[in-house]
Chains A and B, each alone.
Chain A
Amino acid sequence: MGTSAQEEMNKFWAKNTRLNRPMSPHISIYRWSVPMAMSITHRGTGVALSGGISVFAVAALVLPGSFPHYLDLIHSLSFGPALITLSKFALSFPVAYHTFNGIRHLVWDAGKGLKIPEVYGSGYTVIALTLLTSLALTAL
């Protein structure tokens, strides 16, 4: 029968570690592209939104005061208009981007839009919709 696939794999790792072979560079040398950047942004916004909601949920359970109490607390802080606008954009951008790119992912899961020109086209559309939506939400 010879060696199994598992044994072959172990032999591979053992040999390469023993010979102290370097690992070829990857993230430091690979050329960035719009689809690649959009993919990692989708992950980043996803983690941020998920983390933010979890923190909010835990805070709601754990913090002693009521929600109106904390709302008044935030109102009493003197935020400049620039900081308020920035915070609104920082909240609306991940929501908008992740939503629109999420739809793009669902289209891909259906097997559609996977040719490279289509990937770029849908990508630019998501970016445009995200900026429009988040700027509109920020202006509210």
Chain B
Amino acid sequence: MAALCVCSARQGAAALRSSSGLLALRYVQTAAAAAPAVQPRIKKFQIYRWDPDTPGDKPRMQTYEVDLNACGPMVLDALIKIKNEMDSTLTFRRSCREGICGSCAMNINGGNTLACLNKIDTNISKVSKIYPLPHMYVVKDLVPAYRWMIDSRDDYTEERLSKLQDPFSLYRCHTIMNCTRTCPKGLNPGKAIAEIKKMMATYKEKKAATA
């Protein structure tokens, strides 16, 4: 009975010969039997948006819904899916997609990480919040403006250390340890800076010794 209903609902089914028509109906029946077992898992993504080309535009949050059953496990997969299928104006940086280049650095659910390494929280009752890296000028959507840092590779150790001997650079570190806590590559910049501070304490003694 159900087979007959399907047959009449499908346009062009009348054109099928009876044997191939029956095969097609059988496939549709088994597919229909399998489909109800998989429910779509809809996850909401709340993403920071700002368009420099729209005059007077203010930063705002836009919510997108993604079926996690049809999406890769990482936040970057979701962003790419949204850009490809829902909103091609969503702008973000990405490159290696394997956690080595640093292009997709952004703030996900309150922590700074790489979108390509951050697994989507599969709890669909929670919204995933995505912001650009905090306290940076926004070029567009999730893209921050980076400042060209002074390259210390063209200086020697003593000169480098003496450049830090002022209240504004090295000693601006107050050992809050957010850096190490958030590092997506497991590095410890907090410890490294503490070691540099120790080096600063002994460097002047060395200079006095050589003088």
Contact = CB atoms under 8 A, between A and B. Distances in A.
Interface of A: 5, 8-9, 12, 16, 19, 21-26, 29-33, 35-36, 39, 43, 105, 108-111, 114-116, 119
Contacts of A116: 177, 180-181
B116 interface: no
Contacts of B50: 22
B176 A39 contact: yes
Contact of A12 (B111, B138, B147, B194): B147
Contact of B132 (A9, A12, A24, A30): A24
Contacts of A24: 48, 107, 131-138, 144
Given A35-B176, A116-B181, A109 B111 contact: no
Contact of A31 (B111, B138, B145, B191): B111
B194 A111 contact: yes
Nearest to A26: B134
Nearest to B194: A111
A101 to B, nearest CB: 11
Contacts of B198: 109-111
B174 to A, nearest CB: 7
Contacts of B107: 24, 29-30
A29 B139 contact: no
Given A24-B132, A36-B178, A116-B181, 14 more contacts: A9-B147, A16-B145, A21-B138, A21-B139, A29-B107, A30-B111, A31-B109, A32-B110, A108-B175, A109-B175, A111-B191, A114-B188, A114-B191, A115-B191
B113 to A, nearest CB: 11
B197 A109 contact: yes
A80 B52 CA distance: 60
B44 interface: no
Contacts of B197: 109
B136 A108 contact: no
A115 B197 CA distance: 17
Contacts of A43: 174
B207 to A, nearest CB: 21
Interface in B18-75: 48, 50, 52, 58-59
